[in-house]
Every structure is written in C-alpha cells, then in structure tokens.
Chain A
Amino acid sequence: MGDLTELNLAEARDGLAKKEFSASELAQAHVDAVAASAPLNAFVLETADKALAMAADSDARLAAGTARPLEGLPIGVKDLFCTKDIRTTACSNILDEFTPTYESTVTQNLWNDGAVMLGKLNNDEFAMGSSNETSRFGPVVNPWRGADGQNLVPGGSSGGSSAAVAAHLGVAATATDTGGSIRQPAAFTGTVGMKPTYGRCSRWGIVAFASSLDQAGPICRNVRDTAIMLTSMSGFDAKDTTSIDRPVPDYEAALTGDIRGLKVGIPKEYRVDNMPAEIDALWQQGIDWLRAAGAEIVDISLPHTKYALPAYYIIAPAEASSNLARYDGVRYGARKAGVDLEDMYAGTRAAGFGEEVTRRVMIGTYALSAGYYDAYYIKALQVRRLIAEDFAAAYEKCDVLLTPTTPSAAFPIGGKVDDPLDMYLNDVFTVTVNLAGLPGISVPAGLDKDGLPLGLQLIGQAFGEEQLLRVARVMEAAAGFAARPQAWWKDQ
C-alpha cells in the first residue's frame, strides 16, 4: 500500500475508486502525519475523530457505488472558514474559543462532495500578513528550509494551508486571497495556489477581511488537483449577493494540454527594481516554455501597476476597519471587563487584536475619516478602476498574462516583521489581480540559488478559469518541478 500521504488528490481519488485502499486508511495515514507535524505549526486544531467518521461514511458510499467527486479525500481548512461546531478563530485572540453554529458555503460544498476534514489550518490573524507570523498561535514554519537550515516563513496569510499541502498533511487545503494570500504562500512552498474570479466562490461564512477583495480558493500540489478542488468549491450562493450566478464547468476537463495559438501577455511594469536576477531568469524561462508549447508572446503594458500596492493598502484596511468593528466583546469572543462601556471596548480590542491587525484598523479608520476620505479612499477607488481598465485593455491583445508570483523566495522567520512596508512589497505582483477581481494562479517553476521554490503567476480574464488552468497545466508540465523538502519535522 505504501505511504498513502504520498498520493496527490487525483491519485488518491483514483486509488479509492479502484479500491486499492479505503478512505479510512487514507484518513488514518493523514491523521497520523498531521499528529507528527507539530514543529510546522500548520494545524491550529486537529479533528481526527471527525476525519475518521467522515472517512467511514465515505467508505460506505464507495462500497455502495454512490461516491461523490471528492469522496474520502482528506483536506485541511484555513481557520478563516467558519466550521459548524468546530472552533473558528481567524487565528485572533479576539475570537477566543468561538464555535460557529453554521458552516461556510465553500466548506459545505466540499463536504457535500465527500471531502474529509483533517482540521483547521493556521493563518495570519484575520488573514492580515504575508508570512503567517501574525497568528495568535504563533508562526507557521515552512517545510522548506534555508541553505543553512534556518526556519523560513511559508508565506501568508494562508501559510498553514501552503505548509500543510507542501508537507503532505492533506491532499489539498482551502485558502483565501485578499492581496495574494493564496498565490504567495503557494510560491513559497512549491505548491499550486489559485485565486478564482471575484464572485466565483461564496464568501458566506468566511471571516471577512476586505469584502471587495476576499476570495476563497484551493492550494494543492498540482494543477489537476487544483482544478478538481475549484470545481467543488465554486458556485453561486444566494446568501452572498456578490457571488455570480453562472454554471461551474468541470475544470479538470479543461486541462487539454493544448495552448497553441494562445496569446500570453508579458507586462513590462512587473520588471521591478531590485528584483533578483534568478526571478527574472525564471520569468524568461516561463516565456520560453509557453512559446515552445505553441503560444504567442505579446508585450503589453499595465501602466498603473505602480499605484496598485498603495491603493490596496488603503482599500483593504478601510474595509477591514469596518468589518472588524463587530469584534467588540459584546456578543461572542473575548471580553475584557472595563469600568464603563468605552473602557470595555478599548480593553477588549487592545487585548484581542495583534499588532498588524491594529495597524490596519488604524490605517483604515484614518483613510475613511472626514477630511481624508476623498484624498485616500476615493483616490484609491479611482486607481482601482484604472487598474481594471489596464487589464481590460491588455486583454484586447492577449488571453492570459505571465508574471512572477513574488519578488523573492521564502525569507527567514522574523526577517521582516519589524518592517511592515518591506513586508507589504511581497504582494506587489499579486494585489493587482484582487483589485481587478481577476483569477490568478501560482505554479511552482523552479528553485533559487538556495534551493528554495519559486513560482510563476498566470493571470486570467474574469471567469476565464478554464483557460487559465489549461495554460497552468502546460507550464507545470514544462517546468517539471519535482523538488521536495526534507521531512525534517518528523524527527522532532
């Protein structure tokens, strides 16, 4: 039977279908792997009993011939997704031991399709961060280590998801992406991460960070698995009026391997200052792979790119400052008693929110204040529209865009926590996609000089997920990325 955690999602699915092993065996192997992964700090809550119970149910269905698309496949869930009767904290102290009475639409979709829940995954507090160092549960450690063996960040905010998938602690994980929180951690861990078009997945039941930017998506170990997960996660939800009512295609079926004649745009503005030469070289490599596969390469311009990061760091904090107002100690979560109401509010929020969340709430409150609103928030919205128009103009000339995912590989834990601006630069290639509401995917494409994974990002047109996945699969095949981290955490 071998180690069942070696199997990727589609392989496990096919193995279950052929009855090579049972869902219970598959679940047990993953439960054991999770239990042995403490040094990674990827899981903040393990739900072994639930996993085994769900797997038993899956075995019954597999035996009865009524298996569903994800029957028996063990996955992890980012702690931003509300899970019924299972503690959900967004990795913030302010939610304390909050246990929802409801299940997020995206996770419900996954359970409806037969997936098995391994537990809740670490993330940056309220998904605010690019290194998974702002979690109340402490930092997640990247399964990939630096040349000198130092601990690296797994990216963020979905660092628990990326680390877990890279370490084979599940065949896939749910994640969310507000400015790059799926794609950047995927790039840092040699995994595939996809943020679909805004409105493709329901936001209902996902703890909100910035409503107009947040979107759920999967992190997996390859493009095919990503397509399978996305098919189950997607769909219209009447409970989220920003979700879009259009049919969900079978994304796996879109992986034809044929991209001949496809036009791939290369945005010149993404050639930023101080970008490591190896990332530039990898980007060129990606261009060559796609050209070799029959695509046509087109130089395009996204002139307002340089304004994207500043605009993002106005819009996202502005929305967050309002979205997080509900954590006030009155109805649920942590409360710090005070001498009066104001004292209770101030004490509760000061104790409940970490430094990065506090910083963003302050920035957002400031940006929306009387006298500053027009200069900051309105200006940022104007920039956002210009960025969307840049993409629209680019897609007159090409079908998808190819860019690096991040300006660097994973960095050491603690390396950037004291420099928020430097930290924010991690999102420079990813935020534009959220601002324009487009789908983006990061595919592992190579290693840097220290042997750390690097990703390339493909950006699609709105609801162009099929085409995007098709190109991603072709690039993945060309890259032939097969490197894996040493399983050092098992020895500790």
Chain B
Amino acid sequence: MSETGGTNNLIGGATGDWEIVLGLEVHAQVMSNAKLFSGAATEFGAEPNAQVSLIDAAMPGMLPVINMKCVEQAVRTGLGLKAQINLTSVFDRKNYFYPDLPQGYQISQFKQPIVGEGEIEIDLDDGVVKKVGIERLHLEQDAGKSLHDQHPEQSFVDLNRSGVALMEIVSRPDMRSAAEAQAYVKKLRAILRYLGTCDGNMEQGSLRADVNVSVRRPGDALGTRCEIKNVNSIRFIGQAIEYEARRQIDLIEDGGEVKQETRLFDPKNGKTRAMRSKEEAHDYRYFPDPDLLPLTFSQSFVDDIAAGLPELPDDKKARFISDYGLSAYDAGILVAEAENAAYFEAAAQGRDAKAVANMVVGSLFAGLNKAGLAIADSPVSPSQLGGLVDLLADDTISSRIAKYVFELMFDDGPYQGRDAADIVEEKGLKQVTDTGAIEAAVDEVIAANPDKVEQAKAKPKMAGWFVGQVMQATGGKANPQAVNKLVAAKLGLDEDA
C-alpha cells in the first residue's frame, strides 16, 4: 500500500514533464421518496411537472421543511466516508436567476456543511491503494430542467427535479491522473450504493461530477484550475481530463497562461470548451436561509445510524481475502458492486470459495456482459452456480465440460435455468474416471501414432498432443489429470516435464 500511489503519473510536454492535479465535486442524488424540503415524489421518469409541490414551484408564502430522511442519508454517507459529522449545520441560500430555479435561489450549505473531512481509499490497476481526502459533504436542492428543444421559440421547464436532495461530495485535490479520478468515482459510487444513499446511476443523472483540473511542474505550487461541469459518465471523466490537461500544458508551453474558468465537456468531440470566466462568475450572495433554523441533531441520532451501517467495500474485500482465501484481484472485482459480492457469498456457502469466485468472475460475468444483464437478472441462481462448482469439485465433470454446462444453464434454450446435475445426467457429460477405459484410449492413440511417440521422447512437451487426442476420443469426458498421468507413464516421461 502506498500513500502517494502511482508514482509515474507525469505526462510529457515539449518542455519537460507535467503533473496533473485533480479534485472532484460529485453531486449524488439522495435516495429518498421525497424531496429535501417538500413532500413531492422523486421517482425518475415521471411525466414533466407531475412531481411538483407548491414549495417546489416557489408559490408565494411557501416555506421549506427539512426532510429528516435526507439528513439521515447524508449522515450515513458521511459515516461511510469515515468523515466528521457536524451536529450543527446551516442551510444557506445561493442566489441566482434561472427559469428552472423557481425560488431564485438554491438552498445549499455553504459555510457549515453537515459532513466535514473524511477519506476514501481507491484501488488502482497496479494493485496500489491510494487515499483520497474528502473535504466536505453538504446537502442541497437540485434545480429543475430546462428543455430548449421542444419548441422553435420557447423553452420549457420541468420542475420534477426541482428540490430533489443532492449530496455534494467535495474531494481534496489528491488525484494525479485520469485513471485515479475514475477509480475515485467508481469507489465513491460503490460506497454510496452499499450504503443505499444514492443509486449511482450516471445515465439518469443521479451521480454527476464537476472535475477541477490544473497542471504544474512536479514539486511546484498548484497551477490555475479550470472546472469542467457536470460530466456524467466515468468514461467521459477520463476523456475530459485527458483533453483538458493537454490543453493546459500546450497553452503554457506556448507562452500562454491558464485562466480560471468554468468549462463544459462535449462528448461528441471529446473536447472541453469555455462556459464562463472567473470575471463572469455569478456573485451568489450566499446568506443563511432565514426560513430554516440551523440543522441540529444529537450524537445518539448519529450513533443509531452508525450501528445500522452495512459492511463497506474495503472491509468486505479484506474479509473475502482472509475468510475465503481469494486473491486481492478477485476480491476487488467481487466487492465493487454489493450485488456481485452478495451473489458470490450466496454461491460460496459450504463449498470451495475460490472455485466459486473463478466461475463468478469468469463465466458468469462474461455471460452477463454479453447478454447485457444485471446480476439480479442472471438466469443462473447462486445455488445453481454452486451446484455446478460441486460437480467440478468432486470430479463429476472436467472444467471444460463445466464451461459448456454453464453456457447451457445461462443461454437461451431448453437447458436455461436448470440445475447442472440434471443437465450433466441428461446429456451424459459425466467425466470418465475409470482408469481402464482411459488407458485403453491412450493405448489406442499411441499405437496409431508411432512417429509422434518418437518425437515425444525427444521433446516431452509433445505429450500435450496425446492428451488432446485422448480427450477428443473420449468426447472431453476423460478426467484430464488421469489422462496426463497415463500419457506420461506410457511414453516413459516425467509427468512434470
């Protein structure tokens, strides 16, 4: 484990190496059946303006009332980020005009957020674990949505999202590459999903990131940053960072300087473009919302939430390694999604967990990926997958047959969803472990190929060819270990050669 992580993150410019410095502000929609300050529903995909209360529409005289469920979710998230929970926090108004912002201000938390400093550990491809600091998490209202493409002269406004609770999670500028930023978002999303505080669905906009990018010479002070707004996929985060870092380096190397500004990423051409400069930035005139008293709760409220926290990805990974003997790699893959980890654990009960992990990470994930299915919709249940592993473990079938049986169980067709044992029985796929039968097959192959026998004596690796021939002759059902042994013995070779 390393504090600094990937040491070779520098990127080359015409005049030498550069270091990218990245900080992220992630907006995560709170999972809650009602909005932050009104009782209106929050479900995705409703008819426009079907989920709008008088408060969300900012009718005269309407007042916000905090939804304690959202507060609970923010505290829960804060605990999951190992962060300071502030028993007193303050809601402020962030004032600006826009048609999808009915109040003319967004209720947010500016000076005193509900959650303070925390950290998360991100897993990098080289197996390195890196800590990324969390600066704060605060609660705020989402705005509505302006629709500019519905009418030639007019814009329409959908207020369904107006007032929906968001958690803004602000990282320290601790990341040094696009890969690190992507790993950060993946890990954060995993934690949120484990906690059940955000569904992490980036396509529906329940998770989106503002990426702060700057570059500097290694060891120098921080450079001027640009903020890329509202990037809504992990792939785009990578593209946006790569493009923006290169743009800044080229700019500086050409004698220019980076101007602090807000930029937009265009997924169509993979570029960022200027949205507004620092000078054009809004003066939001933050001040404490006089309609709301400071938000206060007791330590026991926090303790109750802490007591109900689920096992989080890092702890689960450590347990999978220690209790199930999994590799760090497999464990990391399995815990990335809570549903995957749960599937694995259900399948692994009472059997060889490593073999189960292999089949989940291998055959199952490949199948799901190909079919575009979520694990919850897998045609093969955890216990069925376990049953297949059992057949493998007691040598009823070979691993090659196991792969074949899994496909039958998974793919569309007459065997889909059936138990492995039935399929093996019905299709006569049991492995031949009868040494006599295998020996006969080996003898036959040897007898038919005297020239190959000569070659094999000179070049022991040729034994593999005989094994293949025997397996073919037995329809793949011969026990591979037994075949190996017999081939080696008959050819007079050392089996391990």
A interface residues, Cβ below 8 angstroms from B: 81-82, 88, 90, 95, 98, 100-102, 104, 203-208, 210-212, 238-242, 318-319, 321-322, 324-326, 328, 330-332, 341, 345, 365, 368-370, 373, 377
Interface residues of B in 73-119 (CB under 8 A from A): 93, 95, 97, 99, 102-105
**What chain B residues lie within 8 Å of A238 (beta carbons)?**
65
Residue B437 is within 8 A (CB to CB) of chain A in the complex? no
CB distance B66 to A322 under 8 Å?
no
Interface residues of B in 21-69 (CB under 8 A from A): 54, 57-66
CB distance B290 to A331 under 8 Å?
no
Given known pairs A211-B290, A242-B291, A322-B105, the reply for A345 and B61 (CB within 8 Å) is no
Given known pairs A322-B93, A325-B103, A330-B102, the reply for A82 and B285 (CB within 8 Å) is no
- Residue of B with least CB distance to A92: B60
7 closest pairs, A vs B, by CB?
Answer: A325-B104, A211-B290, A368-B285, A212-B290, A326-B58, A205-B61, A207-B60
Residue B292 is within 8 A (CB to CB) of chain A in the complex? yes
**What chain B residues lie within 8 Å of A95 (beta carbons)?**
60
- Residue of B with least CB distance to A208: B61
Residues 135-165 of B, flagged 1 when their CB comes within 8 A of A and 0 if not, give 0000000000000000000010100000000
- Give the complex CA separation of A82 and B61 in angstroms: 7
- Give the complex CA separation of A331 and B291 in angstroms: 22
CB distance B99 to A330 under 8 Å?
yes
**What chain A residues lie within 8 Å of B292 (beta carbons)?**
241-242
**What chain B residues lie within 8 Å of A211 (beta carbons)?**
290-291
* Interface residues in B, total, Cβ within 8 A: 29
In the complex, number of A-B residue pairs with CB atoms less than 8 Å apart = 94
- Residue of B with least CB distance to A370: B283
CB distance A325 to B63 under 8 Å?
no
**What chain B residues lie within 8 Å of A318 (beta carbons)?**
287
CB distance B287 to A322 under 8 Å?
yes
Interface residues of B in 242-289 (CB under 8 A from A): 283, 285-287
CB distance A326 to B61 under 8 Å?
no
CB distance A369 to B59 under 8 Å?
no
Q: Which of B61, B65, B95, B283 is the one whose CB lies under 8 Å from A241?
A: B65
Residue B293 is within 8 A (CB to CB) of chain A in the complex? yes
**What chain B residues lie within 8 Å of A373 (beta carbons)?**
285, 287
- Residue of A with least CB distance to B104: A325
B440 CB to closest chain A CB (Å) equals 86
**What chain B residues lie within 8 Å of A324 (beta carbons)?**
104
Given known pairs A319-B290, A326-B104, A369-B285, the reply for A100 and B60 (CB within 8 Å) is yes
New A-B pairs, 4, CB < 8 Å, besides A328-B104, A368-B287:
A102-B54, A211-B291, A242-B293, A322-B105
CB distance A325 to B105 under 8 Å?
yes
Given known pairs A82-B61, A238-B65, A326-B102, the reply for A377 and B287 (CB within 8 Å) is yes
- Give the complex CA separation of A92 and B93 in angstroms: 24
Interface residues of B in 356-412 (CB under 8 A from A): none
**What chain B residues lie within 8 Å of A328 (beta carbons)?**
97, 99, 104
**What chain B residues lie within 8 Å of A370 (beta carbons)?**
283, 285
CB distance B63 to A331 under 8 Å?
no
- Give the complex CA separation of A84 and B102 in angstroms: 21
- Residue of B with least CB distance to A330: B99
B139 CB to closest chain A CB (Å) equals 15
- Give the complex CA separation of A207 and B60 in angstroms: 5
Q: Which of A88, A100, A204, A322 is the one whose CB lies under 8 Å from B104?
A: A322
